[in-house]
Structure 1
Amino acid sequence: MSTIRPRRSALYMPGSNARALEKAKALAADVLILDLEDAVAPDAKSVARDQVCAAVREGRYGSREVVIRINALDTPWGENDLAAVAGAAPDAVLIPKVSSAETLAAVGLRLRRHGAPERTRVWAMIETPFALLDLSAIASAAYDVDTRLSCFVMGTNDLAKETRARLLPGRAAMLPWLMNAVAAARAYGIDILDGVYNNLSDEAGFRAECEQGRDCGFDGKSLIHPSQISAANEVFGPTSDELEAARAIVAAFERPENAHKGVIPLNGRMVERLHAEMAKRVVALAEAIAERE
């Protein structure tokens, strides 16, 4: 099994806010998305870029995964963002409004030209109608090592704006798109994060949407405020009961008498080898979370 990196909580932090960048060093989020795009006014773009890249080069974010969201390449800031980010060498660069695999190929080419280290990966925002119509092709870019694609991030606010679908409790209008994106990500072996929840005062609603995202197969949730970190970490991490059950399944299949069996009885139910593979991932995720914390 490939190495698992917890991505239960991915917090957007405005790149123009130096105080927020400093505060992020003490937050319990698995991922910090330092934002140069939506959270930054046009007249603050250059300052935010310099500030974010300096903070990333300095480090001190510990085991948190550090991602920089740049402005789109067709904006006045995108090219300069990508050049600066390549030099800062974050864990990943998040590309907004990806609508085709060609965009990712162009990003990969520029990162190589600017000398970005191989460990800097590319994440893609899925937030346009064109992206929804071309999910498989976009996800398949992960098979081209030059694109560096390793994760999708759903931009549900932009999808609501572009499609006029309403963001209502339960997200009935969004669910087909969310599930198609999950399927595309899994087909090509990349992670996927759910979109943000806008109502900071509705803790129950946020938790319910986290649980829905978890049940749909998302690896974690993108967040807009530190107050959302704890619930996201809890919901997207295995419970003690789930971990105990997973360890029991793994142990059962490791017994010599079960080495060549495809199905075994365990605690009153029939368990297949596919359940053992699922259980191994639960155990690996729990161990990765424990190591990070």
Structure 2
Amino acid sequence: MSFTLIQQATPRLHRSELAVPGSNPSLFEKAAKGAADIIFLDLEDAVAPDDKEQARKNIIQGLNDLDWGSKVMMIRINGLDTHYAYRDVVDVVENCPRLDMILIPKTGVPQDVYAIDMLVTQIEQYKKREKRIGFELLIETALGMANVEAIAQSSKRVEAMSFGVADYAASTRARTMGIGA
């Protein structure tokens, strides 16, 4: 039994997630009609650096203009070690009431989650947003794995955590046989 009290996250189905590059809006409508529980519109790995600003605009337009039905809508922001992450959060959260979750890549320490949580909280208060945005955290480094328990308890917004095997293997210099090889 644990004496750590963590508020229960919003109950959502997490059976399947579909990644869609934000730089390819022609795929948005097809994704909206698909069977995945969660659609994550990607601003990180699937988008070239020169396309990130346009991808962000595409995502804002797509979230606001398309009928996503009952799907959980999530964006994967760029890593906190980049100058893109701030704009990813501010621009999309401020302009997309349809956004349900944020996928935070390469989460290494609880402070990574805290930084995004505080930014999202301020935007929600400013925009008088009633629907609280949840987080999915990607553990993709040895640092993240070493801190996984603290990361899991770092925010009441945490709804899910995933393990990114390819980036983890790269962070530990492990040999891979098929992922990213």
| TM superposition score category, shorter chain reference | 0.7 to 0.9
* 1:165-184 equivalence runs, <5 A: 165-167=174-176
* 1:8-23 equivalence runs, <5 A: 8-23=15-30
Structure in which a larger fraction of residues adopt helix:
1
| Structure having the higher Rg | 1
Q: Does 1:94 align with 2:103?
A: yes
Amino acid corresponding to residue 79 of structure 1 in structure 2? Y
1:3/1:137 CA distance change after superposition, 3 Å: closer
1:4/1:110 CA distance change after superposition, 3 Å: closer
User: 1:165, CA displacement in angstroms?
Assistant: 2.8
Cα deviation, 1:146-184, whole Å, max 9, x if unaligned, reads xx2211122111111111334459xxxxxxxxxxxxxxx
* 1:128-167 equivalence runs, <5 A: 128-142=141-155, 145=156, 148-167=157-176
Q: Does 1:111 align with 2:114?
A: no
What TM-score do the two structures reach when normalised by structure 2?
A: 0.84
Amino acid corresponding to residue 138 of structure 1 in structure 2? I
Cα deviation, 1:49-100, whole Å, max 9, x if unaligned, reads 0111221122411111111001123212111111012121411011111101
1:129/1:57 CA distance change after superposition, 3 Å: same
User: 1:2, CA displacement in angstroms?
Assistant: 8.4
Q: Which residue of 2 aligns with 1:34?
A: 41
The question of whether the paired residues in 1 share the 8 Å contact of 2:9 and 2:159 is answered with: no
The question of whether the paired residues in 2 share the 8 Å contact of 1:93 and 1:120 is answered with: yes
Paired residues, number: 168
Which secondary structure state, in structure 1, belongs to the residue aligned with residue 154 of structure 2? helix
- For residues 103 and 112 of structure 1, what CA distance do their matches in structure 2 show? 14
Q: Which runs of 5+ in 2 are unaligned?
A: 1-7
1:83 maps to which of 78, 87, 90: 90
Amino acid corresponding to residue 159 of structure 2 in structure 1? S
Q: Which runs of 5+ in 1 are unaligned?
A: 170-196, 199-293
1:122 maps to which of 100, 112, 135: 135
Amino acid corresponding to residue 92 of structure 1 in structure 2? M
Cα deviation, 1:212-242, whole Å, max 9, x if unaligned, reads xxxxxxxxxxxxxxxxxxxxxxxxxxxxxxx
* 1:224-243 equivalence runs, <5 A: none
* 1:23-62 equivalence runs, <5 A: 23-62=30-69
- For residues 59 and 151 of structure 1, what CA distance do their matches in structure 2 show? 25
Amino acid corresponding to residue 76 of structure 2 in structure 1? R
Amino acid corresponding to residue 79 of structure 2 in structure 1? A
Cα deviation, 1:107-150, whole Å, max 9, x if unaligned, reads 111112223634211111110110010111101113xx3xx221
Which secondary structure state, in structure 1, belongs to the residue aligned with residue 74 of structure 2? strand
Q: Does 1:69 align with 2:76?
A: yes
Which secondary structure state, in structure 2, belongs to the residue aligned with residue 74 of structure 1? coil
What TM-score do the two structures reach when normalised by structure 1?
A: 0.53
